[in-house]
Amino acid sequence: MKPIFILFALLPICQISAQNSVAFFPEELVVTANSLNLRAEPDANSKKVASLPQGTLLQFLESWNNGQYTQADTTDENAPYGRWLKVRNKNNTGWVFDVYVSGTTELFYENSPQFDMKSIAPLYWYGIYARDSFADEVRKVQVRLAEEPNEFYGGAIKLLKTNQKDPSKFLIASHAPLPTGYCGPLGVFDPNQMFFSKSLGPGSQLSIYPGNDQNDTIVKPTYGLAATGCASLDDNFVRITDYQLVLLDYATEPISTQNLTEWVRPEMVEVNPTVDLLWFGDLDRDNKPDAIIQDCPYEVGCRASLFLSSKAKPGEYLRKACEFYWPGD
């Protein structure tokens, strides 16, 4: 099994080319290292502009070389791999290495392999759990990395664990505290038992809504996610072209829309879009729907993206806040 382990150990480097054209970076970052040097250039040996303490908020400006992965210090063979990001903090502008920063909101999954320590950044951690058969809830949790043997990876790997006995649906790391309690209407709902598909393939249309907790009678918005496209048989293989994913606001007349296609577009045109709705509710508690949408934009690997209504800009209903990537088909 050793060759498999070597292959996966090299994966963060190998996925460089796959992610270049569709790389996502949060608009706001926070320093997670105890102290971080802001550099004049994307080079560990360039002039230091400022020293940033843990918790400093940064505005993302651009990535070096279109999100190219490199070593933090190319003169040190043991230096970590990551990406140089150009950021702004108050009156200072410069470059930081992304291993030492995090988005102000991050999405994770319990028991997922972690190949670096970035996943336990000193942020507030929360788990989303099925409260009962009718609702989900947010719980504040503690997380740790547990090392366990794994035959598939050919050795011991670190898994993300919580201090809860119940299995979580997903985990959120946040710079700011989140309200705990009710966060959505799904509960232990199984869409397969309700003649409901999570697929957002061409021709599908699904609804997302924040839901109402007990004794909550506020009328809240319901949005639709409509997927369109053309499927045709090409050399014994189904090809999907002109794929579009659009959000619909049913409460407006005429119906207002937001095009979400840019967030789920495959990196290569010959790759068919594979898009699914994983979760919806009201994570940021603003009485508007939030959603987690999964797509597989790369030749190898998929991602789950968290869309929050509170991050939306004028003219938008949702905006992507963060993503969780994992290798595989």
- Determine, yes or no, domain membership for 242: yes
The HSE-up count of residue 228 (CA atoms within 13 Å, CB side) is 9
Give the end of a domain, one of 83, 102, 121: 102
Give the end of a domain, one of 60, 78, 102: 102
- Determine, yes or no, domain membership for 33: yes
**CA nearest to 126, candidates 111, 107, 149:** 107
Rounded CA separation 266/21 (Å) = 9
Domain of 87 in residue numbering reads as: 27-102
Look at the chain and report how many structural domains it folds into: 2
Q: Kindly indicate the confidence band of residue 100, based on its pLDDT and cuts at 50, 70 and 90.
A: very high
Whether the ω angle into residue 254 lies within 30 degrees of 0, i.e. cis, is yes
Rounded CA separation 13/69 (Å) = 7
Verify that 91 and 197 share a domain, yes or no: no
Verify that 69 and 196 share a domain, yes or no: no
List the CATH number of the domain containing 60: 2.30.30.40
Tokens of 70: 């490199």
Q: For residue 183, how far is the Cα from the chain centroid?
A: 18
**CA nearest to 209, candidates 185, 245, 181, 187:** 185
In the prediction, which pLDDT does 195 show?
A: 55
Helix (H, G, I), strand (E, B) or coil at 100: helix
In the prediction, which pLDDT does 69 show?
A: 87
- Determine, yes or no, domain membership for 8: no
- Region at 84 (left for phi over 0; alpha for psi -120 to 50; beta for the rest): beta
Question: pLDDT tens across 109-151, in order?
Answer: 999 887 665 556 778 999 999 999 899 999 999 999 888 887 7
- Determine, yes or no, domain membership for 183: no
In the prediction, which pLDDT does 179 show?
A: 95
- Determine, yes or no, domain membership for 277: yes
Question: pLDDT tens across 68-84, in order?
Answer: 889 888 888 888 889 99
In the prediction, which pLDDT does 328 show?
A: 57
If you average pLDDT over every residue of the chain, what do you get?
Answer: 87
Write down the pTM of the prediction: 0.88
Give the end of a domain, one of 45, 74, 102: 102
Verify that 212 and 85 share a domain, yes or no: no
- Determine, yes or no, domain membership for 80: yes
